[in-house]
Amino acid sequence: MRPVARLMMACAVGVVAAGSWAVAVGGGYPRGDGGTRQAGPGGLSGPAASIDRLLSEAYPPGEPGAVVRVSKAGVVLLEKGYGFADVGRKLPATPDTVFRLASVTKAFTGTAVLMLVERGAIALDDPVTKHLPSSPPAWRDVTVRHLLSHTSGLPNYLDRPNSMEWAAREYSVQELIDSFKDWPAAFAPGERSAYSNSNYVLLGAIIEKVSGVPFDRFVETSIFAPLGMTATACGSSVRDLSRLATAYEPARTADDQLDWTRLLVARPYSFSAVYAVGSCVSSLRDLVRFHDGLVGGRLIGAAAVARSLAPAALRAGVAPAMSEGGWQLDAIGGRRAVMRGGALPGVCTWFLTMPDDEVSVILLSNRTPGKPRCGMLAVQVAGLAAGGPRRNDPAPAP
């Protein structure tokens, strides 16, 4: 499978912080509000102008839009909003607009787990049953490491009939676990890697059990507050919706086909249904603060970050496309790339970096992925920022 095709298939309810990759690979990633240099004044030129044209066409005025930040070698090439955060009220999308983040939540969840590992409260090789003793016997060989790296074999609890109707309701953490605890495993733990949101439901429950506080409270006090991420919250802590972008999805025709000419307010998807999997909201600028916290060692140490970026260990060998911390490992035009994409109804998020080229791209959108395909856009943007394929490297397949 081509790298970009594999990238698109991996998109499910994520974003990951550039800082984590930078520390691991020595990429020297740009600092955010304080340390990143902004490109010079005047009109856009070079790669920034090309990126701006691409995104202006993808997110035209008057429609649900997106915000993007592109950095290379310590310089912000582009930080800009396109289209509307709310079409009805004609509110523009800006770097301060708050978006539902889908699986960017997993970056916070994974960081929280690694913080507890550094404190000695959790070990990566702890079995799930140690912290969640009511777990079914079939999970006795599943460890925290398996959950983080999507190598547990647990089925994805969101893959169910009538999933939209199911996800519109409210759930407790235990109800989420009960909804899949009796489902058969897809494979034995450590046999291979397969993305499953169920892994991060269990990680959220373990965080709560070990810390003694709800998941949303733990990430708020341990991550968001120390970093000044005032626009970021998760689950039941999401109270101020005044800055939240309205999510839009395509209408459906009489024969149940998507009609991309008509974008409607998206169907409801409850915060509790996606819990530690995808319940957080944030802004572009808050994600930069999260990035800086990781780069600056304010959350976890460099050694922990490096371990989380290593290819996931399997019973035999490693998973070349998945890291120990659950990030996708890939390549764009022969260049190394680390990425995570996420989607909910009316939400598309993407974060990728090309560490050898010191390129990072964050893209947050309030329209269902498809037209445009925000993950493919992020790949194109990164390629433009990096300057095309390396000399003597094969060009990416069309």
Annotated catalytic sites, by residue? Answer: 103
* Exposure letters 251-284 (e unless 16+ CB within 10 A, then b): eeeeeeeeeeeebeebeebebbbbbbbbbbbbbb
The residue assigned the tokens 């120990």 is: 324
Cis peptide before 372 (omega within 30 of 0): yes
Token output for 365: 């959108």
Cα dihedral across residues 313, 316, 319, 320: positive or negative: positive
- The 10 Å CB-count burial string (b at 16+, else e) for 158-170 is beeeeeeeebeee
Q: What are phi and psi of 328, to 5 degrees?
A: -80, 130
Pair of tokens at residue 183:
């489902």
**Chain centroid to CA 136:** 29
List C-alpha distances in Å: 281 to 24, 93, 96, 221, 341.
26, 15, 12, 16, 15
